[in-house]
Amino acid sequence: MIYFSFYNINIYSSFDIKDQVILLSKELGGNQVLKYCPKYSITILPYQEYSRDTLKNCIRVGYHPLNRREIWKDQYSTRTIEIDSDEILIKEEFSYTLFIRDIQNIYSYLRSKICEIIRECKLKLYPFGFHAALIGRDKSLYLIIGAKGSGKTSSVLYAYINGWDVYTDEFVLIDKKSIEVLERFPAINPDVEAAFFADCNLKLHYIIKGYLTGEYKKVIDINLKKCKDLSIENIKKIYILTDYKNNIMRHDFINNIFYKNIILGANISNEQYEIIQNLRYNSKMMNIKEFANEIQEATI
């Protein structure tokens, strides 16, 4: 086994993943909470070393039809097991064990699990967060929330190439006096890049495999802006991205997407619930073309 250290995360691997760890450090190393989170361990093993004996005392509790992934839970502990034809993940408290068939996908899974750890640690410090992108201009901040396929990442990259600041494409934590993000590069479908960003010379960081869909995406290396001296007062608008199909039931759609993308932290008060409601009232529904027009008008 080869040992790698990533802040408070100990990685043990049957494969030499030095290059992947270096790239992970470049993409996720700005998340300082990793220095203070509990000790975690991630072990990576060949797929063929997995034994179904681990399912003893487990019951099947879920199934993802997209990737045919089974989810099992131990009846007597916190241990969960996720199984598909390419990867098997065993999770228990602060420990992950991954059995993997294609070593090219190790980066994707390490990236996913480290981001999961970052979210868990940050939500112990913040009352709530949004699965959202955060962009800005001249200290004015704008959240972008959208369902899968709504164009959130494309919107972020469009703002970026037009000179806007990008803080994250992934997760935004909010308290009354501060804002923090999960720093992570955006990832885009290669076909979308070819169709809309072919002449933009976007810098490739790595190619990853989607956790649920198995879809491959290009992680784009961009300069992420640091959240420094920013608070909820800097948030000017929340964009709820949609397609044309949802224009009839706008109110219901906004509520569904807005609340579906909130993740509550360990400590949230009534005052902070009021903050959430105020943010909801400051939300604006639009499609990606309308968003692009707003960016253009604000950039001029």
Instruction: Kindly report, residue by residue over 95-126, the tens digit of the pLDDT.
Output: 999 999 988 889 999 999 999 999 999 999 89
Q: Tell me what pLDDT residue 211 has.
A: 65
Q: What angle do CA 29, 10, 107 make, to 5 degrees?
A: 60
Q: Tell me what pLDDT residue 210 has.
A: 75
Classified as helix, coil or strand, 180 is strand
pTM metric for this prediction:
0.90
Q: For residue range 51-91, what is the model confidence (pLDDT) as tens digits?
A: 999 999 999 999 988 778 999 999 999 999 999 988 999 99
Sign of CA dihedral 155, 157, 161, 165: positive
Q: Are 245 and 285 in contact (CB under 8 A)?
A: no
Unique residue bearing structure tokens 């797929």 = 47
Residues in CB range of 149: below 8 A, 6 or more apart: none
Assign 296 a pLDDT band (cuts: 50, 70, 90).
confident
Residue 249, pLDDT above cutoff 60: no
Distance, in Å, from the CA atom of 276 to the CA atom of 266, rounded to the nearest integer, reads 16
Domain boundaries, the chain: 2-122, 128-186+222-299
Q: Tell me what pLDDT residue 167 has.
A: 96
Classified as helix, coil or strand, 290 is helix
**Percent of the chain beyond pLDDT 90?**
66
Sign of CA dihedral 119, 7, 31, 197: negative
Residue 298, pLDDT above cutoff 90: no
Beta pairing class for 140-146 and 235-242: parallel
Q: For residue range 203-217, what is the model confidence (pLDDT) as tens digits?
A: 999 999 876 667 889
Going along 123-242, which residue ranges are E strands?
128-130, 133-137, 140-146, 165-168, 171-174, 179-182, 187-188, 204-209, 216-220, 235-242
- Give me the residues paired with residue 40 across strands: 9
Assign 300 a pLDDT band (cuts: 50, 70, 90).
low
Residues in CB range of 186: below 8 A, 6 or more apart: 133, 153, 156, 157, 166, 169, 219, 220, 222
Residue 200 Cα distances to 26, 162, 203, 205, angstroms: 22, 11, 9, 15
Q: Tell me what pLDDT residue 119 has.
A: 93
